[in-house]
Amino acid sequence: MEFLTEEVVYKKTPQQLTALLYEGLIESVEQAIASTKKGDYIHANRRLQKANDILRRLGVGLKYDAGIIAHQLDVLYNYMAERLIDANMKKDVGIMQEVLTIAKDIATAWNEALKKQPTTNVAAKKAAAYEQFIMTE
């Protein structure tokens, strides 16, 4: 994960910030798994709490007017959060692994979608279209 400064964050698009949140979620769950396996339940607890915080932030950032996918992601984020709470109480690495697999699948799909986004700036296109319209009058 890249080192994030305030300046770096402000230069990211909302889509890139979401990708970073997925990265942080995956890293937190992986650390929780490792800590649980070592018997370091305090560190595992902190990592699982951080993972749940990230899931909450992902849920808050959903744009429900974008369609059914936002609602489906909301349900999935809530499921993952509940599973992490359960895993934390039971110290169950299997449940953590389940959430990790889901998180990796979502992150992979998200990153693939980011690669396929058009690189042209929508605002620049609109400005060019406006200028062309002005020139033709």
- Going from the C-alpha of 56 to that of each of 3, 60, 62, 76, 101, the distances in angstroms are 22, 6, 10, 11, 18
Q: What pLDDT digit, counting tens, does each position of 42-59 carry?
A: 999 999 999 999 999 999
Task: For residue 67, tell me if it sits in a domain.
Answer: yes
What domain count does the chain have? 1
Rounded to whole angstroms, the Cα distance separating 7 from 9 reads 5
Distance CA(25)–CA(84), nearest Å, equals 11
Tokens of 19: 């990708």
Query: What does the block give as tokens for 36?
Result: 């649980």
pLDDT recorded at residue 118:
63
Place of tokens 């993972």: 51
Do the domain assignments include residue 6?
Answer: no
7, part of any domain = no
Query: For residue 53, is it within any domain?
Result: yes
Residue 26 domain flag: yes
Helices 41-60 and 68-90 meet at what angle, rounded to 10?
Answer: 170
3-state secondary structure of 109: helix
- pLDDT < 70 stretches in the chain: 1-4, 8-9, 117-137
Rounded to 5°, angle at Cα 93 from 92 and 98: 105
Provide the whole-model pTM: 0.80
- Look at residue 17 and tell me if it is in a domain: yes
Domain that holds residue 102: 12-135
Q: Which residues contact 4 (CB under 8 A, 6 or more apart)?
A: 20
Q: For the domain that residue 98 is a member of, what is the CATH number?
A: 1.20.120.340
Residue 46 maps to a domain: yes
Please check whether residue 5 lies inside any domain of the structure: no
**In residues, how long is the chain?**
137
